[in-house]
Structure 1
Amino acid sequence: MATFKELINSNKPVVVDFFAEWCGPCKTMKPILENVKSDLGDSASIIKVDVDKNPSAAQAYKIQGVPTLIIFKHGKPVWRQSGVVQADQLKSVIKKYL
C-alpha cells in the first residue's frame, strides 16, 4: 500500500479530504466528492484521511477543523479550504491544476 507521501506526490491533482466520522459537514462532503470523482474520472485522485485515526497527518498539515480539503500537486499543497465545498467550485479548482 502506498504511503501518504507517495499518494500526494503525483503529476495529477490529489484532493485530500481530512474528515472525522462524528462530523456532520463531513458527511455532507461525501456525495459531493463522489460527484466530483465521477465527473473527473482518473484525471484527479481523491483521498479521505480520518483525522482521528491519522492524527500525525492532521498535525502535519495543521488541520484545525473538519472537513478540510487540500489539493496537492507534485506533493505540494496548492489549494486549501475548510468547510463544505460545493461540487462545481471544487471541480473548477481541480481543473486549474490538471
Structure 2
Amino acid sequence: MSILAANPQILFTEVCKRDYQHHQSWSNSSCFSLQKTAGCFQFDCRNRSWKKISRRDLRVEAFWPDFSRPTVVEMEPINDCDHLDQILLRAKELSQPILIDWMASWCRKCIYLKPMMEKLAAEFDTKIKFYYVDVNKVPQALVKRGNITKMPTIQLWKDGEMKEEVIGGHKAWLVIEEVREMIKKFL
C-alpha cells in the first residue's frame, strides 16, 4: 500500500483507519486497531493487551516495497524453430507449460499488451515460463508452425503441443483476464 500525503499525520490517520476497518470486519478477530489522540493502538485479544504503534513503523509499512516477489518478469524472445524445439523439450522435461505471445512490432495492441503480459508473468513466476515471438523478425516457418493468422495471439503449450490460445483483438485487460483463466486451467 502506498499513500501520497503531504503531512505525515494524514498518512498515520489513514493507515490507522485502514487497520481498524480491516480488523473490525473479522467476527473472531485476534486483534484490532484503534486511533486515539495520542496515536494508534493495536489490541491483541490472545494476550489481552494494548500495543502502541509508532508513526515510524506505520511509514515503513505503508511505503516499503515487497521485494520477495518480482513485479515484472521480462519475456524471453524465440528466434527460430530450433529455439522453439529446445524450449518445448526443456518444458516437457520439467512438465511445465509455457506461454507464447505472438506479436508484431507494428501492432498497437501487441505493444500495449506486452507490459501487461510481463506483469502476469510475475504473477505466475515459478509455475509457467513466458516467451514472445516478433513475427516480422523470425522465419515464416516458425509463424506457420504456430498457425498464426492474427496478432496478438497468446498460446499455451504443454507437453510439446499447443493446447489453447487467446486471440487478442479486444481490450487489453479482457485479454489478460482470458489468459489468466487459460493458465489456471492448465496448472
1:25 aligns with 2:114: no
| 1:5 and 2:85 correspond | yes
> Aligned residue for 1:56?
141
Query: Which of 134, 146, 156 pairs up with 1:71?
Result: 156
Q: Take 1:48 and 1:13, find their aligned partners in 2: how far apart are those partners?
A: 14
TM-score (norm 2): 0.48
What is the letter of the counterpart of residue 132 of structure 2?
Answer: K
| TM-score where L is the length of structure 1 | 0.87
Aligned residues: 97
Q: Is the 8 A contact 1:16 1:48 kept in 2?
A: yes
| Matches for 1:81-92 after TM superposition, within 5 Å | 81-83=166-168, 84=172, 86-92=175-181
Whichever of the two has the greater Rg, that structure is 2
Residues 35 and 87, structure 1, Cα contact 8 Å, conserved in 2: no
Measured on the aligned residues, the alpha-carbon RMSD in Å equals: 1.6
Partner Cα separation in structure 1 for residue 124 and residue 114 of structure 2: 15
Which structure has more relative contact order (CA 8 Å, sep 6+)? It is: 1
Give the % identical residues.
Answer: 24
Q: What amino acid sits opposite 2:160 in the alignment?
A: G
